[in-house]
Structure 1
Amino acid sequence: MVDVEIGRRRRKVAQTWNELTGPQLLQVCQVYGLAFDTPGPRYKALLRILFAVPNRVMNRINVVQFVDLKPLATFLLDPTKGRPLTDQLLPRLPTCSWAQLWAGVRSRTPHLYGPRDSFRNLTFAEFIFADTFFLRYLQTNEEAWLNKLVAVLYRPQREDYRPHAASYGGDRREDFNEHLLDARAGYMARVPHYVKLAVLLYYQGCRRELERRYQRVFEGDTNQKAALSGWEAVLHNLADGVHRVEATAGQSLHNVMREMQRVLENYDRAKAAHQAS
């Protein structure tokens, strides 16, 4: 955060994605969907979001002030640079008038909750599906894949949710069930694109963090196999037998990645020692 003074207003301004608020993230994603003839108006729109001031205040900023303030919004122009978005700024999908468009639901639409910061409560099974849909969306830019990605991550609250109970497992969401994806993806088709774009930015950020933490997994044969056949092929190889597939899929994503990293690093050391002998 940096301190900025605009007229009589003093603000602490975010300088990383994780320092944004949920509403700010949604506003930034709305700006992404707008067409600008020149970069200046885009910067001004992003600065207004960061400063949390009305347009009339931004319009009073002169050219010199604008040039001085412009670098504050630079990190928002390219989410693939700088520190990634890994904090969960949208723990629950916002409910708007579009929520009532879900065909076939009861009179009250259930709230949908997302994963925690840095995929802390994501299972490997969720990641298998989510990453498949994520990569397909990047390849095709078809909204249907984005709908499925969000449908994997955001689910209704589990019936036995008691966060202070001794049995609480750390996930507010109901257990992942691939057979419910199509119905929930149909609902996501009615969610505004900018909301789904905010979820996509969060997913991209958390995936970048996975690549950093488990570098060997994402740069070796395992990553190649995942790119060609999906992470499901990696699951079957890792489980070492059909009877262990379901148990491995239900494990924490970070536990699975950590184990793969350990196995691959041990393999690299053994290979290096063999070549040196």
Structure 2
Amino acid sequence: MNFSRVKTYSPVSYKLNLRYVEDISQAMPLNQKDVLLDVGCGPGTLALLLSKRVGKVKAVDNSPEMIEEAKEISKAENITYKVGDATKLSTYEEYRNSFDKVVAHCTLHWMKDFKTALEGIYQSLKPGGQCFMNMAHQNPHIINTTQLLNCYTSPKWETFMKGYEHAYYTFEGTDDDYKQMLAGIGFKDIDCKQTAIKIPLKYDEAKEFYPNSMGQLERFPEDCREEYMEEAVKYALDTDYKDNQDHFISCSLIYAIAGK
């Protein structure tokens, strides 16, 4: 997966993050005294929105290119951006017991070792702190658009897709399984729930938004990528739902609010 491909500005991403910042604020009250850690910040869209509701934001991402983008397009006086690996948070001594709030929004399912990231998040919280975490959940009754995109192939693309395993690791257990995992790490006051997400998206918006999470594009020659990407997006959206020109992206997410 190349996490550095994310576009400098995505209206779709901004629209989705406007929704999620409200979800976060309702689930985990924020205030101007809070020091918050944003894990997997990408281009900083969510960090910028959160910075208006807290005192300070430290935002980390494993892509140096993304951090540079965030510094340019999502800057605020109370945000500090830094290159950092979520699976190594527990090794960052300066982060230990340092944050009132931690947000890991749609980032854990890009890590095969997401439990290690959760352990680092726990260690980064101050005693009495809270975190908001969500990640894709494997639900057989709900189509996951990202998985459809990352698995798409046809006879003419098989050469490029042979042996490919996309870096998208959904949680496969129940709410109780997730809660028990968090409790085993040390979290307390845990509230978990699954929710189905279905968001209307125009086809052109999907073409702009989704290539950012299609790691298999790196396998294709430059002159083939556009054609493959268009086929994959059309396949994913039409498989999920199509009504005239209205399409939807969908997935099942498992949310958790937990304290230390």
Global fold match (TM > 0.5): no
TM-score by length of 1: 0.22
Structure with greater strand percent: 2
Structure with greater helix percent: 1
Which structure would you say has the larger Rg?
1
